[in-house]
Amino acid sequence: MNNTANTTVSGYLIGIDVGTGSARAGLFDLDGHMLASAKQDISLFRDAGAIVEQSSTEIWDAVCAVVREVVSASGVDPAAIIGMGFDATCSLVVLGEGGRPLAVGPSEDENRDIIVWMDHRAVGQAERINALGHDVLRYVGGRISPEMETPKLLWLKENRPKTFDAAWQFFDLADFLTWKATGDMARSTCTVTCKWTYLAHEKRWDPSYFDKIGLGTLASENFARIGTTIVEPGTPLGQGLTQDAAKAMGLLPGTAVAAGMIDAHAGGIGTAGVGGSPENNLAYVFGTSSCTMTSTAEPVFVPGVWGPYYSAMVPGMWLNEGGQSAAGAAIDQLLSFHPAAADAQVKASAHGVPLPVLIADAAAPSAGSASEVVRLALGLHVVPEFLGNRAPFADPHARAVITGLGMDRDLDSLVALYVAGLCGIGYGLRQIIEAQAKAGANVERVVISGGAGQHDLVRQVLADACGKPVVATVSEEPVLLGSAILGAVASGAFADARTAMTNLCRVARTYIPVEGELADIHAKRYATFTAFQDLARASRES
């Protein structure tokens, strides 16, 4: 296997990331250095009943805009760009004949044709599917999530049958983007295996699952509306960029386009190659939500943790995926409750930083060191499950617990609440690590990415709370790098994804978990964390 870039290939790569709130692009050289980046916000439509929707038309326009901007900002000749890759949230795009958007909710607005990953309208459908206990569920940790696509498809069939029947294609968002770019309707093993119940290790859909849950019409159509050609991430699609897509992006037709990934998994590709051993690294994407991704040579079944998925992230390896539906968003929600939050937000805006960054900057000096900040939160505990527990309990009904609040209204008490919430995020991570280790998937370190995990204090507290070293990589934008790596493979610059990961993922700093008295404090707080989870479950009906 080659362990360097193909020396006959030169040029640049573009990685494109569509997150919950924005579309971003990064332009990289073949050493993994980002030369320029661009960002454009995208709309999020929220309605009653846990409905969250977006517009595929708006997202595609935003993608084209950020590509044009990043190329212009870099000064790179478009002819020198050899490949591009896409990642996106695992959201459901619903299109009618000819790619016409279809309304997916009660607004009846056809521009709102995406059911966003965090949309929980299909909780009832997910519970009914789980009650049926089909064998396919073994590959999603035993219980399917309302964030996955088959519960959402069932919701559409039952609640918007005209939309369901009129749909020409149901796409995961990353697959929609590659179709728009190339005209190729191939789906990525990443998207359909992780979110649609495709059995990549057997290279097939299971018709009996769809029949059993009430979506037999998709099986009777030979799955033509959800994907008949499934390829590994990084596979070159079609003939590259089409004439129309190239014109919209300001690039050359034929530029290589890779089969894409879910955004968190792109973060895994952009980080998990450190040390050359993906199986030793837990890729942790700490953004609006959090995702944990663990690669193994053989399948490992972990109750409450999604997977094992074959070739869903690192081709040829199995993937277990955990995390929480609210992580950075949970911290934002937590802080919003505090009386001092409004004044602190004014200061944060004046400094041009997000509120959590302002508070993290204030926390360490007041405690003496990043590890000492846990003392600021003594007696204050947060289980930050505002949007359920994704792993290891697969419980969408779980809710947050906050104990130890007093009448304090000053900045110091806001800092303490933030630290308690951050510890809660770390204890949730520790819970997933322990559940996986018990099943046989051990990791040596946590490799972090995501916008909410960029602060030194955050990384140290997470290391202390979860008990594993937390590694930050050289790339400041590992999700964009992960998508660019896919473009590198599609262009032929690297032999395969694992070779590219090994070469382009490098360690910048390692945060070692604390020992001694502070470690004991975290151990006691972790026991309290799990006790409050138990109490919350037991008291749910009271």
456 — pLDDT class (breaks 50, 70, 90): very high
Domain boundary among 262, 282, 299: 262
Give the rounded distance of the alpha carbon of 113 from its chain centre: 21
Asked whether the CA dihedral 142, 146, 148, 150 is positive or negative, the reply is positive
User: Alpha carbon of 357 to those of 46, 349, 364: distances in Å?
Assistant: 26, 11, 12
Helix H segments across 133-184? 149-159, 161-166, 173-182
Does the pLDDT value for residue 338 go beyond 80? yes
**H, E, C per residue of 13-66:** EEEEEECCCEEEEEEEECCCCEEEEEEEECCCEEECCCEEEECHHHHHHHHHHH
> Based on the number of CB atoms within 10 Å of its own CB, is 347 exposed (0-12), middle (13-18) or buried (19 or more)?
middle
Which contacts (CB < 8 Å, 24+ apart) does range 176-179 have? 176/56, 176/88, 176/93, 176/95, 177/16, 177/18, 177/59, 177/60, 177/63, 177/86, 177/88, 177/260, 178/86, 178/237, 178/257, 178/258, 178/259, 178/260
The arithmetic mean of pLDDT across residues 192-204, rounded, is 97
Counting the structural domains of the chain, the total is 2
pLDDT at 2: 39
Residue 317 falls inside a structural domain: no
Q: Residue 286: which of 253, 263, 303, 307 has the closest Cα? A: 263
Does the pLDDT value for residue 365 go beyond 90? no
**Same domain for 109 and 192:** yes
Q: Which helix (H) or strand (E) holds 256?
A: strand 256-257
Residue 503 falls inside a structural domain: no
Residue 227 falls inside a structural domain: yes
Q: Is residue 35 within 8 Å of 475, Cβ to Cβ? A: no
* pLDDT digits 0-9 by tens, 483-494: 999 999 999 999
Residue 253 falls inside a structural domain: yes
**Same domain for 227 and 334:** no
Q: Residue 459: which of 410, 506, 425, 486 has the closest Cα? A: 425
**Same domain for 175 and 51:** yes
* pLDDT digits 0-9 by tens, 58-111: 999 999 999 999 999 999 999 999 999 999 999 999 999 999 999 999 999 999
Does the pLDDT value for residue 511 go beyond 50? yes
Rounded distance, CA 320 to CA 188, Å? 17
> Based on the number of CB atoms within 10 Å of its own CB, is 382 exposed (0-12), middle (13-18) or buried (19 or more)?
buried
pTM score, two decimals?
A: 0.86
**Same domain for 255 and 337:** no
The residue range of the domain holding 407 is: 328-425+515-538
* pLDDT digits 0-9 by tens, 366-419: 767 899 999 999 999 999 999 999 999 989 899 999 999 999 999 999 999 999
CATH code of 529's domain: 1.20.58.2240
Rounded distance, CA 522 to CA 10, Å? 49
Rounded distance, CA 521 to CA 181, Å? 52
**Same domain for 103 and 187:** yes
**Same domain for 242 and 361:** no
Rounded distance, CA 152 to CA 94, Å? 11
Question: What's the one-letter identity of residue 330?
Answer: A
**Same domain for 236 and 337:** no
185 — pLDDT class (breaks 50, 70, 90): very high
* pLDDT digits 0-9 by tens, 528-541: 999 999 999 999 88
Q: Angle at the Cα of 80 (from 74 to 85), degrees rounded to 5?
A: 80
Domain boundary among 235, 262, 289: 262
**Same domain for 131 and 55:** yes
**Same domain for 334 and 238:** no
Residue 431 falls inside a structural domain: no
